[in-house]
Structure 1
Amino acid sequence: MSSPRARFALGVYRTAGVVASPLVGAYLAYRTAKGKEERARRTERFGYASANRPQGPLVWFHAASVGETNAVIPLIREIRRRDIHVILTTGTITSAKLAAERIGNEAIHQYVPLDLKPAVSRFLEYWQPDCAIIAESEIWPATVMELGRRRIPQILVNARMSDRSFARWQRRVSIAEALFENLALVIAQSDIDAERFRDLGARHVTTSGNLKVDTDAPPYDASVLARYKKQIGDRKTWAAISTFEGEENAAAVVHRTLKERNGQLTIIVPRHPERSDEIEEMLVKQGLKVARRTRNDVLSPDIDIFLGDTIGEMGLYLRLTEVAFVGRSLFAEGGQNPLEPAMLGCAVLSGSNVQNFRETYQKLARRGSARMVRDTEMLAKGVHYLLINDEARRNMIEAGIMAVQEMRGALTATVKSLEPYINPLTVKARLLPKTMAEG
């Protein structure tokens, strides 16, 4: 049972949300002007629906951004195979585009309502989900409390708890307990994550592994890949992907250090493509010639940097190389997911700040498919070694593919854990007349 102090604090949060609701329009207008909200669908953030609710059982999936959306797509398809309808909410324009491309009409997409009681209540009143399945670490107090008040089972899947988040929740442990006791089930990525959720008050916790291992390899356009491969020819290539501020400059330093020896093409794929103009300006000031994907520039022999400034084309960029540095790990903290480069046949390099993906990196490193670097100089040495040493590179690639294969199985484990919640909905859905079930 949560403490009176925690209940009071959450009550204040909920009341503040009600008071603030009329003022949020200006905030969303600002985000829209910055290109962070879709103007035509802005009212969805207030809980207003822009699609019809289908007849029959409905499961609400929430995935904050692109990575989480990719992770839950196979799970959504499993639920749909059971004739249960799905509404998927996401919080970013890029994840909305990904959902449209990857799942189309298999699920209804809406932008997630703001964590304000009026918006959440409006959303739940209209959609009336039978169950809420939330990806990874999205804990929004008003949403959790409103779902709890309505006795709608809420389940965290692929759940993870970073070092920073765990420390933050530990400073507010009574509030964490008041929120996490509302969770019907937590399906954690690892034993460490599971233990942290238990420590913070979650009552029913299981471990599944990482759903991202069971996703399909990222898609690509075969004709575009063939065109770029022809333009690159025999040049060596390496990629710095999911980069954050400072890491693009590190990639430029590596390129200039190795250019005379290897004549390589460097591919840079920033985590936030909206930074691409400033990244290109920085590269050009260093005397580097840049080609950009959005301009459809030719990768001629004099091009130094291919700037991958698009969303949803990681499958293309990674298929152009066999060596990939994964960012948010050298000058930023937390790391990014190394599974995509490993499953697509890349030797993986990373900085040491990979707290959010510690277990995944440990498994890759134990197999010999990932190597950590301390700084830009060590990164340059690692890239050079892998570019000139075919056997070492092939060994790392093969080890990565084997490690990914060993980590598979999270989808099966997750579906099994969900059965007590999903099986009754399957029965209900299949008892409906077909026309109603199709909605």
Structure 2
Amino acid sequence: MSMAGQAGRLIGTGLAPVLPLWLRLRARQGKEIPERLGERRGLGAARPPGPLLWLHAASVGESLSLIPLLVALAEKSPGLHLLLTTGTVTAASLLRQRLPAALAGRVIHRFVPLDVPRWAAAFLDGWRPDAAVFVESELWPNLTAALARRGIPAALVNARLSPRSARLWRWAPGLAREMLARFRLVVAQSEDDAARLRALGAREAQFWGQLKAAAAPPPADPAELARLRALVGTRPVFLAASTHAGEETAALEAHRLIRARLPDLLTVIAPRHPQRGDQVAALIAPLPFSRRSEGGLPGPEQEVYLVDTLGEMGLFFRLAGVALIGATLVPKGGHNPLEPAQLGCPMLLGPHTDHVRETAEALAAAGGALRVVDSATLAEAALTVLTDSGRAQAMTRAAADVAADAAHLPGRLATAILDMMPPATGTMPVPRGE
């Protein structure tokens, strides 16, 4: 083990006595579920008989991107049980809403244990997975080391490594090589990510496609969609979707500019984190607006509708005539642009699309998205789409073609993961040097 790996083990062990206090504080803040805190220490195993695959996704985006892979795994291996861990309560809540009914009895959810050696050991000894799959950038030294000691094969899928993270990992090259060498399969979400992973030690890292692109579009309640459409009527709708601080200000300035041409415009602002609702409401306050979290509706007297609720983007992508994709006007890397592509909503992308670069470039090149850089270009582009139905239809057709290209990926990944799993033996590999 590298010196950095040994340091990680010592740090995890040293922090263990104070981490329960930290977890209880998070629970008081609503970031943990109090009665499930034991899961963060690796407790609460209830392993079903038969083969078990453990999949881990940190948060909302990663978790939802796994759903098509879960479906493909279940179809290809009818006897396989799926243990899915997340690091956030929000991800767990959305998974309950989005998992297909056919998977409900085969997917077990737990919160991932913190990266403490004995907690990782308790988790693995309790669940005894036959293989493990990590999503995006979930690289935990003690968890991956515990897997390796038990001889449990692991894969890293939809792997992402930003240029900044790659530079940071160069300060601990031995640890990076150790962790990446523990994965038998590394499939990156872009060619650039694959190259950076290979440079750090994942010599066989490959790019097959973007897993998020294969996810089913976010759902919408038909009755609620019909109600909102009746309320909105023929008004043009501009959506600022999954916004971050700074983007709401740009959207409101764009709203002011667009209304000079379209006085009945309705602007919908949906912050990525609903807990920012009060902050965003203060920005909107000079304008007539209503707030969804308080039961408000987009009536004819409202200029802006604040959607500070969770899990409703499917509803508003279907309602909008054009949408700004959040995290692209500020340097956050960009959220998934293929959800509006699947739902026929023309989209606008800011300059900051590092996390979805290849998808964003493909959409822009195909004519499926327009690029903007500030509130003025945002207003100009939104106005173009809202007033030119032919342009809007051409954009949605081009974006749908780009989204359709990713449909094959879950099946290919499922086959590679199942091939990695050992034959069922009924025994658990013995950990080496725990």
The interval holding the TM-score normalised by the smaller chain is: over 0.9
Q: What amino acid maps onto 1:41 in structure 2?
A: R
Aligned to 1:436: none
User: Is the counterpart of residue 141 in structure 1 residue 141 in structure 2?
Assistant: yes
Q: How does 1:61-100 map to 2 (within 5 A)?
A: 61-81=55-75, 82=77, 83-100=79-96
CA 1:423–1:183: 2 relative to 1, 3 Å: closer
CA 1:221–1:138: 2 relative to 1, 3 Å: same
Q: Find the residue that maps to 2:206 and give its secondary structure.
A: strand
User: Is the counterpart of residue 255 in structure 1 residue 249 in structure 2?
Assistant: no
For structure 1, list consecutive stretches of 5 or more residues without a partner in the other structure: 430-439
Q: Find the residue that maps to 1:184 and give its secondary structure.
A: strand
- Alpha-carbon separation, structure 2, partners of 1:207 and 1:416: 16
CA 1:329–1:107: 2 relative to 1, 3 Å: same
Contact kept? 2:291, 2:308, Cα under 8 Å: yes
Contact kept? 2:46, 2:126, Cα under 8 Å: no
CA 1:171–1:85: 2 relative to 1, 3 Å: same
Aligned to 1:197: 197
Q: Find the residue that maps to 1:110 and give its secondary structure.
A: strand
Q: What amino acid maps onto 2:267 in structure 1?
A: T
Aligned to 2:278: 277
Contact kept? 2:130, 2:421, Cα under 8 Å: no
Aligned to 1:118: 118
User: Is the counterpart of residue 309 in structure 1 residue 303 in structure 2?
Assistant: no
Q: How does 1:134-213 map to 2 (within 5 A)?
A: 134-213=134-213
Aligned to 2:414: 415
- Alpha-carbon separation, structure 2, partners of 1:56 and 1:406: 35
CA 1:95–1:21: 2 relative to 1, 3 Å: same
1:140 Cα deviation from its structure 2 partner: 1.1
1:162 Cα deviation from its structure 2 partner: 2.0
User: Is the counterpart of residue 132 in structure 1 residue 132 in structure 2?
Assistant: yes
Aligned to 1:434: none
- Alpha-carbon separation, structure 1, partners of 2:274 and 2:31: 13
- Alpha-carbon separation, structure 2, partners of 1:140 and 1:363: 32
Contact kept? 1:318, 1:341, Cα under 8 Å: yes
- Alpha-carbon separation, structure 2, partners of 1:423 and 1:219: 36
Q: Say which of 12, 15, 19 aligns to 1:20.
A: 15
1:272 Cα deviation from its structure 2 partner: 0.7
Aligned to 2:293: 294
1:365 Cα deviation from its structure 2 partner: 0.9
1:423 Cα deviation from its structure 2 partner: 7.6
1:171 Cα deviation from its structure 2 partner: 3.6
Q: What amino acid maps onto 1:393 in structure 2?
A: A
Q: Find the residue that maps to 2:167 and give its secondary structure.
A: helix
1:283 Cα deviation from its structure 2 partner: 1.0
Contact kept? 2:211, 2:406, Cα under 8 Å: no
Using the size of structure 2 for normalisation, the TM-score is 0.93
Aligned to 2:372: 373
Q: For structure 1, which segment, 185-194 or 392-401, has the greater mean C-alpha deviation from structure 2 after superposition?
A: 185-194
Aligned to 2:384: 385
Contact kept? 2:62, 2:135, Cα under 8 Å: yes
- Alpha-carbon separation, structure 2, partners of 1:372 and 1:415: 35
Q: Find the residue that maps to 1:319 and give its secondary structure.
A: helix
Contact kept? 1:244, 1:332, Cα under 8 Å: no
Contact kept? 2:211, 2:409, Cα under 8 Å: yes
- Alpha-carbon separation, structure 2, partners of 1:310 and 1:143: 34
CA shift digits 1:408-439 (9 cap, x unpaired): 321122123224224835xx79xxxxxxxxxx
CA shift digits 1:234-288 (9 cap, x unpaired): 100011111110111111111122223212111111111110111112210xx11
1:166 Cα deviation from its structure 2 partner: 2.1
Aligned to 2:29: 34
1:407 Cα deviation from its structure 2 partner: 3.4
Q: Find the residue that maps to 2:260 and give its secondary structure.
A: helix
- Alpha-carbon separation, structure 1, partners of 2:299 and 2:59: 34
- Alpha-carbon separation, structure 2, partners of 1:183 and 1:245: 37
Aligned to 1:433: none
Q: For structure 1, which segment, 347-356 or 199-208, has the greater mean C-alpha deviation from structure 2 after superposition?
A: 199-208
Aligned to 1:240: 240
Aligned to 1:325: 324
CA shift digits 1:25-81 (9 cap, x unpaired): 2211221122111122122111111x5210111110001111111111121223233
- Alpha-carbon separation, structure 1, partners of 2:46 and 2:415: 30
Aligned to 2:336: 337
CA shift digits 1:125-181 (9 cap, x unpaired): 100111001111111111111111111111011222222222222343222112111
Q: Find the residue that maps to 1:37 and give its secondary structure.
A: coil
- Alpha-carbon separation, structure 2, partners of 1:13 and 1:419: 31
Q: Find the residue that maps to 1:300 and give its secondary structure.
A: coil
Aligned to 1:220: 220
Q: Find the residue that maps to 2:115 and give its secondary structure.
A: coil
- Alpha-carbon separation, structure 2, partners of 1:314 and 1:117: 39
- Alpha-carbon separation, structure 2, partners of 1:74 and 1:405: 14
- Alpha-carbon separation, structure 1, partners of 2:304 and 2:401: 31
Contact kept? 2:325, 2:348, Cα under 8 Å: yes
The count of aligned residue pairs is: 419
Contact kept? 1:209, 1:409, Cα under 8 Å: no
Contact kept? 1:21, 1:118, Cα under 8 Å: no
Calculate the aligned-residue CA RMSD, in Å: 1.7
Richer in helix (by share): 1
Q: What amino acid maps onto 2:278 in structure 1?
A: D
